[in-house]
Structure 1
Amino acid sequence: MGLFVMPSLGSDMESGTLVEWLVAPGDTVARGDAVAVVETQKGAIEIECFEAGTVQELKAQPGTVLPVGAPMAVILAAGDAAPETDALPEPEQEPQPLSKPEPAAEPAAAPARDTTVPAAAAGAVAGAIKASPAARARAAELGLDLGTLAGSGPGGAVVLADVVPGGARDIGEPASRLDEMRKAISAAMTHSKRTIPHFYLSQTMDVQATLDMLAVRNAGVPPAERVLLGAVLLRMAALAVQKTGTLNGHFTDGVFRPAEQVNPSLAVALRGGGLVAPALADVPAMTLDEMMFAMPDMVSRARAGRLRSSEMTRGTITVSSLGETSGEVMAGVIFPPQVALIGIGAPQMRPWVIAGGVVPRTVITVTLAADHRVSGGREAARFLSQFEVLVSQPEVL
C-alpha cells in the first residue's frame, strides 16, 4: 500500500479531523480493517485500509485537521519499500484535544501500568487489555476500568466509542457538530440542485400482496426474526434498478459510469438531527434474512457514529423511505455523484379498483428523482413499472 492518505468520504468533503488511531506501529492489518476514526461534518467515520500490510509509521496526530489526500500513515505490504514523501502539508489548525486536555499519564487513582511502553503500543503488550490511546485516556478521565468494557475495534480492542456512547460525536458541543452537519447537507444539496438537472416521476402502487406475503412469513416468528416491509421494498428497488442501468452509477468529470453492483445508500435520520446515507453492498445478491440483519446494524452504527469509510463511498443510488407512519409522498434531491434517488412514501389505505370493483387496499407512492443528463422519462417509467411488478408479485423474491 505504501502511503495511507486522508480519503474522500463524499463529493463535498474537503478535510477531516483525525480523532484516534485504532492501530499502532508494528501492527499487521488486513484488507477492510478499520485503522483510524475521522470526524467529518457528517460525523465520526471509521477509515479502512484496502490492502494488507504492516503499519510502519503514523504521520498524523489525533486532533489534527487534514485535507483530503494528506499523508496519515505508512502501511507496507511484504517486500515494499517505504515511500519517499515530501514534508506533511501544514494542518488547517494545530492539533487540539477533542475534549478537555488529556493528561500525559493516568491519574494516581487509575490502575497502574508500565509507563515504559509507548501509549500508542500499549494495547499490543502481551496480556494487556487491547485499547486505542484515545480510549485509554478517556477511560482514565472517567475512572472506568477498561477490563469491564466490551471492545468493538480490531481484534476486540476497546475504542473511543466503547468508552463514550456515541464516540467522538458525544465529545465537545453537540449543537455545534449538528450545525456543521446541517451546513454540509445544505451545501451538498444546494450544489446538487444547481448542477444536476433533476426530473421526477411518481407512481402509486398496490402493496397489499407484499403485506399479505409478510403476514404469512412472519406468523409465529419471534419479533427479532421477522422480515419488515422496508427490507422487502429495498430489495425490490435494487432488483428493479438492475434492469435500468442508467439510474445506477456515478456521473463524474462529465461522464456517466454505470456501476457493476447495486449498492443502495440508505438515508438515515440521526436522533439529534441531521442525515447520513451509508450504503449496503450488492443488495440483489442478499437474501431477505441477510438484509434484516444488515439494515438495523447499519442504522444503529450510523446513529452511534461508527460507520466505515467504505459504507460512505460505495453507494450507487439512494433509497429514502418515510417508514410506515409518515408522509405519503417524498421527492428527494440526488446525492452527487449518484444519478438517481428513490423516495418511498408511507403505506396508505385507499379505495382501489380491482376487476371492476372498488376495494380497500394498502398502497405506496414511489417517486424517482433522476439526472436528465443520463436518463429520461422512458427509463424512469421502466424502473417504476419493474418495481410495481415486484410489489404485486412478491413470490418472485
Structure 2
Amino acid sequence: MGEFRMPSLGADMETGTLVEWLVAPGTLVRRGDIIATVETQKGLFEIEIFEEGILGEPLIQAGQEVPVGTVLALIHAANGSAVKKDAVSDQPKSAPERFICSPSARRLAREMGVDLATIHGTGPKGAIQRIDIEHAAQTRIPPAVESAKHARTEPASHETLRQGMRQAIAAAMSRSNSEIPHYYLEMEIDMSRSLQWLEVENQKRTIRERLLPAVLLLKAVAKALRDIPEFNGYWLDNQLQIKTEIHIGFAVALRQGGLITPAIHAVDSLSLTALMKAMSDLIERTRSGRLRSSEMTDATVTVTNLGDQGVRTVFGVIYPPQVALIAFGRITERPWAEGGMLGIRRCVTATLAADHRATDGHRGSQFLEVLNKHLQQPESL
C-alpha cells in the first residue's frame, strides 16, 4: 500500500490547498497520471502520482489546506478486480457522481466560474467539452446567486496570488541569502558566430519552426553542465549531491507579476527543435496555470534571461537546494578587440552564481569557459 502525499513544490512551500480531486476513488492510476490540483502561494498546479495502484477514499477533502507531506489518499495494490478507466473521460464507469470531463475542461470551468453539475455534455458518451462550458458561462445565473446555491472551492484572485507569490519569493530568497555562501563570476561571450549560424538555420525553417537565441543558451548550458557536473545538483545533508539528469529551471515572468521557474526536463538530450517546442510549451502553460508538480520540483539548476528587459548583467540568487544559477543579459553590439584589431561584435554577459560550499571560483571560471566554447560551436549544439 502506498501513500499519495501533499507534495513540496519548492523550498518555500510549507502548506498547500487541495482544490479538486480529478480521479474518483477506485480508479486504477499509473505513474505520471494527474489525479488532483493543488493551490499554493505561487498558483494552481496539477499533481501527478508516481506509483501504480487503485486510488483509495480521500483522506483530505477539497478546500482543505494541509502541510507538505500530509497523506491525501492511500494507493492500494492493483488486482484483477481493478476498476477500468473510461476511454473517453479517463474517469471510472462505476462512479456516476463524477462528471465525464477532461482536466482541461475542468480548469476552464473553474476559470469561468461554471458549475459542472449544471452542464449537459455534448461530447462522446456525454463528455463535457470546452464549448459546453463556454456556452454555459454565457447563460449562467449571476455569480452571487450561484455561490449561494453551490459552495465550492475557487482559486485565489490574481491579486491574492501576486501577493502570495511575492511573500513566497521573499521567504525563499531570504533563506537563500542566509544559508548559501554565494560567489559570482561573469564573462562577456561573443555571440556573433552563434547568431550568424542561427540566421542561416532559420532561413531553412518555417516561421513556426524557427529557433530563438535562448534555445542556444539553454543547450549550451546543458552541455557545459555535462562537462562540469558539480553545478548540476543539490546541497543536502551537508554535502553536494550531483544529479545525472539535467533538468533546467527556466525563469518565466507571469502576466500578473512575479517569476516562477518550472523545469525543462533532460535538456542535454533534446535537439534544438525539441528544446524550442518544450520551452514554448512550458512558457504557455506556466502563464495559463497548467504546470505539473514534477515541473516545479525536478529542476537541478536554474537559468534566467532578462535580456528582453534590456538588462545587461544579472546577478541571481540561488534557489535552494540547488547550487548554481546561470543568468544572461541582453545581446548587444559592443567593441571587441581580437588579434590586435578592434571591431564590433554581438555579445552577451553570462553570470554564474554558485554555492561556495559545493564549488570554488576556479571551477566556476572553468564552467564559464566551457559554456563559451560551446556557444562558439553552434553547429554542434
- TM bracket, shorter-chain basis: 0.7 to 0.9
- TM superposition shift of 1:27: 1.8
**Which whole-Å CA distance do the structure 1 matches of 2:224 and 2:182 have between them?**
20
**Which whole-Å CA distance do the structure 1 matches of 2:123 and 2:329 have between them?**
44
How many residue pairs get aligned? The number is 345
Q: Residues 244 and 71 of structure 1: is their aligned pair in 2 closer, same or farther, counting only changes over 3 Å? A: same
Of 193-202 and 318-327, more deviation after overlay is shown by 318-327
**Which whole-Å CA distance do the structure 2 matches of 1:367 and 1:148 have between them?**
52
3-state DSSP of counterpart to 1:352? strand
Corresponding position of 1:252:
236
- TM superposition shift of 1:134: 8.2
Alignment of 1:65-80 (within 5 A): 65-78=65-78
- TM superposition shift of 1:328: 0.6
Q: Residues 122 and 169 of structure 1: is their aligned pair in 2 closer, same or farther, counting only changes over 3 Å? A: closer
- In the alignment, does 2:161 pair up with 1:184? no
3-state DSSP of counterpart to 2:320? coil
- TM superposition shift of 1:396: 1.8
The superposition leaves residues 316-349 of structure 1 with CA deviations (integer Å, 9 ceiling, x where unpaired) of 1100011345211001000000000001111010
Q: Residues 29 and 142 of structure 1: is their aligned pair in 2 closer, same or farther, counting only changes over 3 Å? A: closer
Q: Which letter does structure 2 place at the counterpart of 1:189? A: M
Q: Which letter does structure 2 place at the counterpart of 1:226? A: R
Corresponding position of 1:30:
30
**Which whole-Å CA distance do the structure 1 matches of 2:336 and 2:154 have between them?**
49
Tell me if the contact between 1:329 and 1:366 (Cα under 8 Å) persists in the aligned partners.
yes
Tell me if the contact between 1:230 and 1:323 (Cα under 8 Å) persists in the aligned partners.
no
**Unaligned stretches of 5+ in structure 1?**
81-115, 124-128, 150-155
Q: Residues 17 and 212 of structure 1: is their aligned pair in 2 closer, same or farther, counting only changes over 3 Å? A: same
Corresponding position of 1:211:
195
The superposition leaves residues 17-60 of structure 1 with CA deviations (integer Å, 9 ceiling, x where unpaired) of 00111111122222111111100111111110001222121222
Corresponding position of 1:41:
41
- In the alignment, does 2:282 pair up with 1:305? no
Corresponding position of 1:111:
none
Tell me if the contact between 1:20 and 1:134 (Cα under 8 Å) persists in the aligned partners.
no
Alignment of 1:22-171 (within 5 A): 22-78=22-78, 119=97, 121-123=98-100, 129=101, 138-140=113-115, 146-147=121-122, 171=155
Tell me if the contact between 1:11 and 1:337 (Cα under 8 Å) persists in the aligned partners.
yes
Tell me if the contact between 2:7 and 2:68 (Cα under 8 Å) persists in the aligned partners.
yes
**Which whole-Å CA distance do the structure 2 matches of 1:45 and 1:32 have between them?**
14
Q: Which letter does structure 1 place at the counterpart of 2:15? A: S
- In the alignment, does 2:319 pair up with 1:335? yes
**Which whole-Å CA distance do the structure 2 matches of 1:53 and 1:323 have between them?**
46
**Unaligned stretches of 5+ in structure 2?**
81-93, 138-151
3-state DSSP of counterpart to 1:261? coil
- In the alignment, does 2:16 pair up with 1:16? yes
3-state DSSP of counterpart to 2:241? strand
**Which whole-Å CA distance do the structure 1 matches of 2:10 and 2:356 have between them?**
22
**Which whole-Å CA distance do the structure 2 matches of 1:169 and 1:250 have between them?**
36
Tell me if the contact between 1:139 and 1:145 (Cα under 8 Å) persists in the aligned partners.
no
Corresponding position of 1:291:
275
**Which whole-Å CA distance do the structure 1 matches of 2:128 and 2:247 have between them?**
29
Percent identity (aligned): 41
Which of 371, 381, 385 is the matching residue for 2:365?
Answer: 381
Tell me if the contact between 2:44 and 2:155 (Cα under 8 Å) persists in the aligned partners.
no
Corresponding position of 1:94:
none
Normalising by structure 1, we get a TM-score of 0.80
**Which whole-Å CA distance do the structure 2 matches of 1:358 and 1:254 have between them?**
48
- TM superposition shift of 1:355: 2.7
Q: Residues 212 and 176 of structure 1: is their aligned pair in 2 closer, same or farther, counting only changes over 3 Å? A: same
**Which whole-Å CA distance do the structure 1 matches of 2:353 and 2:333 have between them?**
25
Corresponding position of 1:322:
306
Q: Which letter does structure 2 place at the counterpart of 1:253? A: D
3-state DSSP of counterpart to 1:55? strand
Corresponding position of 1:369:
353
3-state DSSP of counterpart to 1:262? coil
Tell me if the contact between 1:23 and 1:36 (Cα under 8 Å) persists in the aligned partners.
yes
Corresponding position of 2:208:
224
**Which whole-Å CA distance do the structure 2 matches of 1:356 and 1:391 have between them?**
23
**Which whole-Å CA distance do the structure 1 matches of 2:106 and 2:286 have between them?**
23
Of 132-141 and 278-287, more deviation after overlay is shown by 132-141
Q: Which letter does structure 1 place at the counterpart of 2:24? A: A
**Which whole-Å CA distance do the structure 2 matches of 1:387 and 1:135 have between them?**
42
Q: Which letter does structure 2 place at the counterpart of 1:221? A: R
